[in-house]
């Protein structure tokens, strides 16, 4: 008898992250604006914590993540208990845990493209089906369409605010109205990994809904604001009836010693977090103003990145910018064909990007 492979795993559903940093000839600096990483790196406190943790790498890490969850309680001003939190190796693994906990073969989830790829890929790995209710032309959620797409088989609805790759967000009153209308058997998964960069007055996280015991899970990551993308640490928080259930499939020794100590130290350095947020706010305003002057279409963003409609085909833009040492990301595989996502970097990186875009536009005008 031959091996029985699951057909839905055999499908091409592998999640591929952003490209590694390109190598350029000597003298050309590389500006990686393709993966929404922290341009400041990470906190000096984290560096010291990592160095200290290296002394004990021959020993197993903590059996549980309790110290990190206690640090998260403090970070959330004690509005939640340690039992509300689940931690894992990245926000992506949190999505994987949620999928394993709630999805079976034949189940359905609802996504709205363009969106983060693991929502659909991880769903398929469980034998479930993702129903796409596309975002509007302005990249807002079609909540009426989502509600109309609900069936008894739908178990999860994935939302993101701010959304990757569009940068758009869900206003508080809109999210409240939607959650009140969601059937009781459906869990809203709210990806809020870019929440620190949202400054809209009506922006809201999942916190008030968790406190109200709504069926919601809020996903967060240490990869963006805290600059720990290489350590792979993420977490979610949810009402106790949901978090206690998910914790039953969490492995012991799940987080490495360095991940635990690094994440705890990152939460403690509130000054570094504020410095990061201030930089993103400043550079976001700088880049968007210049994009407008260059007459490059972009969508209003609450993230540390912006989605643009490039002046030349996306593949050509990516190639031409790479030749100048600037990395950006096409997002056709997110569900936004022809568009490009650009992260906000330092002023030096952003200036180099804008200068290159201006040169590309001038070259296009000459060749027309």
Are 280 and 350 contained in the same domain?
A: yes
Cβ(35)–Cβ(222) below 8 Å: no
Mean of per-residue pLDDT scores for the chain: 93
Structure tokens, 347: 């002023």
C-alpha–C-alpha distance, residues 204 and 161, integer Å: 8
How far apart are alpha carbons 276 and 272 in whole angstroms?
Answer: 6
Do 12 and 157 lie in one domain? The reply is no
Q: What is the mean pLDDT of residues 82-93?
A: 95
- Same domain? 193 vs 258: yes
Task: Say if 2 falls within a structural domain.
Answer: no
Q: Give the residue from 17, 4, 19 showing the smallest Cα distance to 318.
A: 19
Asked if 291 and 177 sit in the same domain, the reply is no
Tell me the residue range of the domain where 356 lies. 7-42+271-367
For 71-97, give one letter per residue: b (16+ CB within 10 A) or e: bbbebbeeebebebbbbbbbbbbbbbb
pLDDT of residue 368: 57
Close Cβ partners of 153 (under 8 Å, ≥ 6 residues apart): 106, 107, 108
| DSSP symbol at 18 | P
Same domain, yes or no: 12 and 92: no
Residues 30 and 56 in one domain: no
User: Who's near 177: CB < 8 A, 6+ residues apart?
Assistant: 143
| Confidence at 25, pLDDT banded by 50, 70, 90 | low
The last residue of a domain, from among 241, 269, 297: 269
Q: pLDDT value at position 29?
A: 84
Distance CA 86, CA 259 (A): 14
Binning the chain into helix, strand and coil, the percentages to the nearest 5 are 40, 15, 45
Residue 15's pLDDT is 56
- CA neighbours closer than 13 Å in the CB half-sphere of residue 163: 29
CATH of the domain at 232: 3.40.640.10
Listed residues 243, 269, 295: the one ending a domain? 269
pTM assigned to the model: 0.92
Tokens of 173: 């009153």
Residue 227 lies in a domain: yes
- 270-293 vs 257-268: helix axis angle to the nearest 10? 80
- The tally of domains found in the chain comes to 2
How does pLDDT run across 212-235, given as a tens digit for each residue?
Answer: 999 999 999 999 999 999 999 999
Portion of the chain with pLDDT greater than 90, in percent:
83
pLDDT band at 366 (very low <50, low <70, confident <90, very high): low
Q: At what angle do helices 347-367 and 314-323 cross, to 10 degrees?
A: 120
CA distances to 104, 158, 168 from 192, rounded to whole Å, are: 25, 11, 12
Position with higher pLDDT, 143 vs 11 = 143
Question: Which one-letter DSSP state was computed for residue 107?
Answer: -
Mean pLDDT of 123-137: 95
User: Which has the higher per-residue pLDDT, 2 or 39?
Assistant: 39
How far from chain centre, in Å, is Cα 117?
10
Do the domain assignments include residue 1?
no
Cis peptide preceding 360, ω within 30 of 0: no
Nearest to 154 by CA among 215, 201, 96: 215
331 vs 6: which has the higher pLDDT: 331
Residue 236 maps to a domain: yes
Residues 295, 147 share a domain: no
Q: What integer pLDDT is reported at residue 365 of this predicted model?
A: 65
Q: H-type helices in 141-269, by residue range?
A: 143-148, 172-181, 207-211, 240-246, 257-268
- Summarize pLDDT for 318-328 with one digit per residue, the tens: 999 999 999 99
Residues making up the chain, counted from first to last: 368
For the chain, how big is the Rg over CA atoms in Å?
21
pLDDT tier at 91 (50, 70, 90 boundaries)? very high
- Give 92-113 pLDDT, tens digit per residue: 999 999 999 999 999 999 999 9
């Amino acid at each position: 008898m031959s091996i029985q492979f699951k057909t839905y795993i055999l499908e091409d559903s592998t999640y591929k992250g952003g490209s590694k940093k390109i190598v350029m000839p000597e003298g050309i600096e590389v500006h990686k604006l393709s993966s929404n990483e922290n341009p400041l790196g990470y906190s000096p406190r984290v560096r010291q914590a990592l160095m200290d943790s290296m002394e004990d790498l021959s020993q197993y890490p903590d059996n549980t993540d309790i110290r990190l969850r206690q640090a998260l309680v403090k970070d959330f001003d004690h509005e939640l208990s340690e039992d509300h939190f689940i931690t894992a190796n990245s926000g992506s693994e949190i999505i994987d845990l949620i999928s394993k906990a709630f999805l079976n073969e034949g189940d359905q989830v609802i996504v709205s493209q363009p969106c983060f790829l693991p929502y659909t890929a991880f769903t398929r790995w469980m034998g479930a089906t993702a129903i796409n209710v596309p975002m509007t032309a302005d990249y807002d959620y079609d909540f009426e369409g989502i509600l109309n797409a609900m069936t008894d088989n739908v178990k999860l609805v994935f939302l993101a605010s701010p959304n990757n790759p569009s940068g758009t967000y869900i206003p508080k009153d809109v999210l409240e109205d939607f959650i009140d209308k969601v059937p009781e058997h459906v869990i809203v998964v709210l990806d809020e990994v870019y929440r620190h960069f949202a400054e809209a007055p009506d922006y809201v996280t999942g916190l008030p809904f968790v406190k109200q015991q709504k069926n919601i899970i809020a996903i967060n990551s240490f990869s963006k604001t805290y600059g720990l993308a290489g350590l792979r640490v993420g977490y979610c928080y949810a009402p106790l009836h949901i978090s206690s259930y998910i914790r039953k499939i969490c492995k012991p020794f799940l987080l490495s010693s360095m991940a635990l100590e690094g994440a705890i130290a990152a939460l403690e350095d509130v000054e570094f977090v504020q410095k990061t947020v201030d930089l993103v706010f400043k550079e976001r305003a700088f880049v968007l103003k210049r994009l407008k002057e260059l007459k490059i279409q972009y969508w209003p963003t609450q993230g540390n990145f912006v989605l643009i409609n490039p002046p030349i085909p996306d593949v050509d833009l990516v190639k031409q910018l790479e030749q100048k040492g600037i990395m950006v990301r096409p997002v056709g595989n997110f569900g936004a064909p022809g568009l490009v996502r650009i992260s906000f970097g330092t002023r030096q990186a952003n200036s180099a990007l804008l200068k290159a875009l201006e040169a590309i536009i001038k070259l296009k005008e000459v060749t027309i």
